[in-house]
Structure 1
Amino acid sequence: MERVFKAVMLGGAGSGKTSLRNYFLYNSHTGQYTPTTNSDFVSTYITLDNEEMVAVQIWDTSECKPDLLTAQSLAQDADGIMLVYDGGSKASLQALEKHLLTIATASQTRRNKLPVVLVQTKCDLEVGGEQQVECKRVKELCQSRLEIDDIQCIETSARTGLGVALAFQTIAELCHSQWRGAMTPDVSERLPKVRPSRHGDPIAYSAFELETSSGAKTRQRDGSAVRRLRRKLCRLLCFA
């Protein structure tokens, strides 16, 4: 059965999480800010450095209080975290402190540290009256708070595409690497067919329709099973 990794994007309101994901998946950027009101995910394949393709659920999180799926809840089930911030926004930088606590709490229940990639957005924009906070400074803060020796910090722009593909490929690489490192020779025989999750994710070890970066869908084998899974997922999401 296919392994699907869950990558959760955390960051303050307006940090650029949704724009980052939209550019990666659809190669598009609107330039308009619309607050994300409900956390959701999109499934896609990501190609690793060794040319292997892995399935990833990319979760975009909301800072709105009515959202039922909190960042803390999503981080508990995550395989990796993309910590997103706008280096020219004080509010975005302040939100990092809250999310660092969320990641640290989630890591306490795990055997290994939760993989984290630090993503600085809007690097193509000039900051009026303020200076962009360098990745190096934020990286040192994150490493200190999370007690991780080396966190990769990637500068991105959802308008020009700078570093966007690299950011998503990096988190996929880290998730896959940690999973491979934790595997034993007989682990495939002991893996459950359905991964436990609180977020309408009954398909983590099953084939399903994946959305590629070009927006096209790849049809998997056993179409009837796929349709059943999609219907079940839709029902779960409707009641979330």
Structure 2
Amino acid sequence: MLQKKICMVGAFATGKTSLVGRFVYSIFSEKYQTTVGVKIDKKTINIQGKDLNLILWDLYGEDEFQKLRMSYLRGSSGYLLVVDGTRKNTLEKAFNLQIKVEDSIGKVPFILVLNKWDLTDEWEIADVEINEVLQRGWTVIKTSAKTGLGVEEIFQTLAQKILEA
């Protein structure tokens, strides 16, 4: 069976842990849980008739006090760059993280995940900014860890990109 390491990368409190929880265990908790270091989960999915074992590395959110440990990224086949749509600054943080990740492990498949789509009334990221990201050639998927919207899709799409890379 193929095994692929995927890292969850983004600013703190963007929903990385919640996305993994929704995908792996079909659960969502309103209670905020800070990830300390890294949390690793696994889930097997089927892509094009092949079983693929995803090893999900949920990395703690980067903020001014913590710098992402690039050593956690080693061996990654791809990553999810998670943004909180209700906090525009997390998009800027994602742009910076993407450069750092690419400098560290090279060009591997990734998806920009616009999380918290269930809170559209609080949304701070405009369509024009999303279109700018799409013009970079990035794959962008809107998700809600709370409702489950797009969660399966981000992991399936990334797995597909990894197999094609």
TM-score by length of 1: 0.61
CA distance in 2, matches of 1:64, 1:104: 16
1:85-164 map, 5 Å: 85-108=83-106, 113-128=107-122, 131-134=124-127, 135-140=130-135, 143=136, 150-164=137-151
Q: What amino acid sits opposite 2:110 in the alignment?
A: V
- The yes-or-no answer on 1:37 pairing with 2:32 is no
Q: What amino acid sits opposite 2:112 in the alignment?
A: L
Q: 1:98 to 1:64 in 2, by over 3 A?
A: closer
CA distance in 1, matches of 2:2, 2:120: 41
- Write out the 4+ residue segments of structure 1 that deviate beyond 6 Å after TM superposition: none
Aligned position for 1:4? 3
CA distance in 2, matches of 1:122, 1:9: 15
Q: What amino acid sits opposite 1:10 in the alignment?
A: V
Deviation of 1:77 after TM superposition, in Å, equals 1.9
- Quick check: 2:45–2:52 contact (8 Å CA) kept in 1? yes
**Could you list the per-position Cα deviations for residues 2-32 of structure 1 after superposition, in whole angstroms to 9, with x for gaps in the alignment?**
3310011110001110101100111111112
**Could you list the per-position Cα deviations for residues 98-154 of structure 1 after superposition, in whole angstroms to 9, with x for gaps in the alignment?**
31221220354xxxx3111111100110344x63333323334xx3xxxxxx32111
- Quick check: 1:37–1:62 contact (8 Å CA) kept in 2? yes
- Quick check: 1:87–1:133 contact (8 Å CA) kept in 2? no
1:196-211 map, 5 Å: none
Q: How many residues are paired up?
A: 161
CA distance in 1, matches of 2:138, 2:91: 17
CA distance in 1, matches of 2:67, 2:55: 15
TM-score by length of 2: 0.86
Q: Secondary structure at the match of 2:7?
A: strand
Ranges in structure 2 where 5+ consecutive residues have no aligned partner: none
More strand by share: 2
- The yes-or-no answer on 1:168 pairing with 2:164 is no
- Quick check: 1:10–1:71 contact (8 Å CA) kept in 2? no
Q: 1:47 to 1:3 in 2, by over 3 A?
A: closer
Q: Secondary structure at the match of 1:63?
A: coil
Q: Secondary structure at the match of 1:15?
A: coil
CA distance in 2, matches of 1:105, 1:70: 13
1:203-222 map, 5 Å: none
CA distance in 2, matches of 1:13, 1:106: 20
Structure number with bigger Rg: 1
**Could you list the per-position Cα deviations for residues 54-81 of structure 1 after superposition, in whole angstroms to 9, with x for gaps in the alignment?**
111011001368xx99442222321101
Identity %: 27
